[in-house]
Amino acid sequence: MTAAELPVLPTKPGCYLFHAPGGEVIYVGKAVNLRSRVRSYFSATAAQKAQLIRNRAERLEFIVTKSEVEALILEANLIKRFKPHYNVLLKDDKSYPFLKLTREAYPMLLFTRRVLKDGATYFGPYPNPGAVRKVQELVGAIFPLRQNSGVPLQKRKKPCLRFHMGRCLAPCIDNVSEEAYAKVVRQVRAFLEGDVAGTAEQLESEMRAAAARQDFELARLYRDRLQALQRLTGYDSDVTRASEDDLDFLGVAQAGNFAMVQLFQMRRGRVVGRDKRFLTNAEGASPAEILERFMADYYGQAMQVPPLVLVPQEIDLDVWSAFLSERAGKRVELRVPQRGDKVELMGMAERNAHTGLEAELALLERRGEAPGVKELQALVGLESAPYRIEGFDISNLMGTHTVASIVVFEGGRARKSEYRKMRITGLTRPDDFYAMHQAVYRRFTGALADKLPVPDLLLIDGGKGQLSAARRALKDAGLELPLLGLAKKQETIIREGAPEILVPETHPALRLLINIRDEAHRTAVGFNRKQRGAAMTRSVLDDIPGIGPARRDALLARFSSIDELKSAGVDELARIPGMGRVAAEAVVAFFSAFDNERASVLKAPEVRAAETGGAEAG
């Protein structure tokens, strides 16, 4: 699509939708000024993502709104409806769970995913159903709300077991007045809004008042509830709170096509809740765009919005403040903290976002859904996603026993049945470049070339020198394949004729490359150790024709040294169990030839020259 094909755009706020051939919505955006924002996609300095969108788009549709806040809400709904390819998406884009305090004389606390305009009070959203169940259990352990008498309340002849346990006031048998039950409901409401301290203070006040009236049974009930509250929430009335702030603070982490946003809820100076969301389609998106996608989804459903929200990135603060104020019914400030204790809160949120993202990526890898392949294609500019990647590494000890390893990954997963190891020949000193050339050349010209399919990408453990050696080997083998190197210093991705790439270690593409490199290194080092171990345990007897491991062990058990063995005759050797006369003669002949060769080497050069007719005279 070109700028000339754009419709006449107004200068008003609204949303715009890019459509691909066939009508698919590939991107939804919002704008304060539709004309200015859309035309920025067609400028010479447009970002790479904007260029991809305009190149794929066939037509543009726009919707004018009354205000920027209305555009923000509309954008969130359109993204949820169409799930456009180039928009950041919530990976687990499901409705949030809530707790619902029903609207009736004797309210009940319920789990729900639907927020209705039915006069009930909703609390949430919560991050997952498990969190809701835990809060329900906590409320049930502290406050005697009814649980088993239906909505609306159904009368019973006998109360349930919770009444006999002191955990229900049993309105189903008219055991409690509406006023007394309403007092418990107010405590539940305050608790769910985060006022743990206020709830504890009210319970303690009622306990003391009941004790003063000498209503010790009621005082005991209040005491038990207060103790349950302290035990289950960790609240301690003797600890002075350093801050009375009510606020939310958010952290963002991004790795290639994936991102994580974590939100923490602080009420009365205590962190009382957390939500986190794993997002996809984040490649090329700014942290601000990722943050806005999460906020639109979360605060679009949130029932309680605090007066202050801390964000780590500059976004359109005025628009978002207006949106949140509209949701809360009061003034809400949006702020990027610059100093003080609130910067520490942001650091906490950022650290948790990075940790959460790493955990999600590791989970994908364990499930066989390794996310690095497509991200690697985009990161290094490959024509297609590299399904089969082969990793090469060289290992030696002071230049001895040089070996190479070849590991295979398909679809981001190790294919161990196709791993290969080889000894490097022709080396008298350490030379990783020579070894890498030989390993790559033999992989694509020998028997392995027929047994293994051609990979989509080669990963070389090392820098530009190893990469050049691998390229020469491919050229000698008559092949042209994509090559990458991975240098351990700062985990730098090395490309041929292009700048080096440095990305965070959480980036899925780099995680995949590190995994392949480490697997190749582990395999090469293990093979090198095995070769060195075999060399250390090798005996001179292994070189004698006809002497296998069994006969070798029998000879070593009979004689205490090689000199003693060499002095033994054929008859003596033949009497050893398992030897026989032919094997005994082979042993005697081997040592006789060995001694003759050694004596020749020890002779002076002029003597050897005379014996060989001057062949060694030079």
Going by pLDDT thresholds of 50, 70 and 90, the confidence category of residue 533 is low
Domains of the chain: which residue ranges? 3-87, 98-233, 247-366, 374-534, 540-611
The pLDDT tens digits for 341-384 are 888 888 888 988 888 888 787 777 666 556 678 888 888 888 88
pLDDT of residue 308: 92
Q: What pLDDT, on the 0 to 100 scale, is given for residue 414?
A: 84
pLDDT(148) > 50: yes
- At residue 437, what are phi and psi to the nearest 5 degrees? -60, -45
pLDDT band at 243 (very low <50, low <70, confident <90, very high): very low
Looking at residue 329, what is its pLDDT?
85
pLDDT at residue 242, as a whole number: 39
| Spatial CB neighbours of 369, under 8 Å, sequence gap ≥ 6 | 412
Asked if 603 and 616 touch (Cβ cutoff 8 Å), the reply is no
CA distances from 538 to 143, 397, 402, 550, 567 (A): 78, 18, 18, 14, 22
Q: What is the pLDDT of residue 37?
A: 92
Asked if residue 303 has pLDDT above 80, the reply is no
Q: Strand pairing partners for 422?
A: 404
CATH number for the segment(s) 3-87: 3.40.1440.10
- Residue 616: is its pLDDT beyond 50? no
CA–CA separation, 40 vs 33, rounded Å? 11
Is residue 314 within 8 Å of 253, Cβ to Cβ? no
Q: Cα(456)–Cα(458) distance, rounded to whole angstroms?
A: 7
Q: Give percent of the chain with pLDDT exceeding 70.
A: 87
Q: Whose CA is closest to 75, among 239, 302, 297? A: 297
Contact call for residues 54 and 62 (beta carbons, < 8 A): no
Distance of CA 121 to the CA centre of its chain: 37
Q: What is the pLDDT of residue 442?
A: 92
Say if residue 76 is exposed, middle or buried (CB neighbours under 10 Å; 0-12, 13-18, 19+). buried
> Within a 10 A sphere around the Cβ of 328, how many other Cβ atoms?
17
**pLDDT of 138 strictly over 80:** no
- Alpha-carbon distance values, 475 to 338, 380, 407, 415, 483 (Å): 55, 21, 21, 26, 12
Q: CB under 8 Å to 294, separation ≥6 — which residues? A: 90, 250, 261, 263, 277, 279
Give the three-class secondary structure for 87.
coil
Residue type (1 letter), 412: G
Class of domain 540-611: mainly alpha
How far from the centroid of its chain's Cα atoms is residue 167's Cα? Answer: 43
Contacts of residue 13, Cβ cutoff 8 Å, sequence gap at least 6: 30, 31, 32, 33, 34, 64, 65, 66, 67, 68, 70, 71
Looking at per-residue pLDDT, the higher value among 240 and 184 belongs to 184
Q: Give the pLDDT mean for 386-397.
A: 88
What pLDDT is recorded for position 194? 66
* Residue 195 contacts residue 187 (beta carbons within 8 Å): no
| pLDDT of 244 over the 80 cut | no
Mean confidence (pLDDT) of the chain: 82
Instruction: Give the pLDDT mean for 305-316.
Output: 89
Contact 303, 327 (CB under 8 A): no
pLDDT of residue 131: 67
pLDDT at 617 over 50: no
Closest C-alpha among 319, 292, 254, 324 to residue 76:
292
Mean pLDDT is lowest, of 72-86, 127-141, 295-309, for 127-141
- Parallel, antiparallel, or unpaired: how do β-strands 247-255 and 121-123 relate? unpaired
The answer to whether residue 614 scores a pLDDT higher than 50 is no
For residue 534, pLDDT over 80 is answered with no
Structure tokens at 216: 């010790």
pLDDT reading at 462 higher than 60: yes
3 state DSSP class of 319? helix
> Who's near 75: CB < 8 A, 6+ residues apart?
15, 28, 29, 30, 296
Higher pLDDT, 308 or 358: 308
Q: Residue 370's pLDDT is what?
A: 61
**Averaged pLDDT for residues 498-508:** 84
Q: Between 60 and 453, whose confidence is greater?
A: 60
Separation CA 304–CA 265 (nearest Å): 10
Q: What pLDDT band is residue 601 in, cutting at 50, 70 and 90?
A: very low
* Domain 247-366 of CATH type 3.30.420.10: yes
Is-contact 500 492, C-beta < 8 A? yes
Q: How many CA atoms lie within 13 A of 278 on its CB side?
A: 14
The residue among 271 and 479 whose pLDDT is bigger is 479
Confidence of residue 239 (pLDDT cuts 50, 70, 90): very low
Res 39 pLDDT > 80: yes
Report the Cα–Cα distance between both ends of the chain, in Å, rounded. Answer: 80
pLDDT band at 561 (very low <50, low <70, confident <90, very high): low
Q: Please state whether beta strands 89-90 and 14-19 pair in parallel, antiparallel, or not at all (unpaired).
A: unpaired
Q: Please check whether the domain covering 374-534 is classified as CATH 3.30.420.340.
A: yes
Q: Token pair for residue 558?
A: 């009979």
Mean pLDDT of all residues in 132-142: 75
Name, in order, each residue with C-beta under 8 angstroms of 154's C-beta and a sequence gap of 6 or more: 172
Flag whether pLDDT at 140 surpasses 90: no
Q: Do domains 247-366 and 374-534 have the same CATH topology?
A: yes
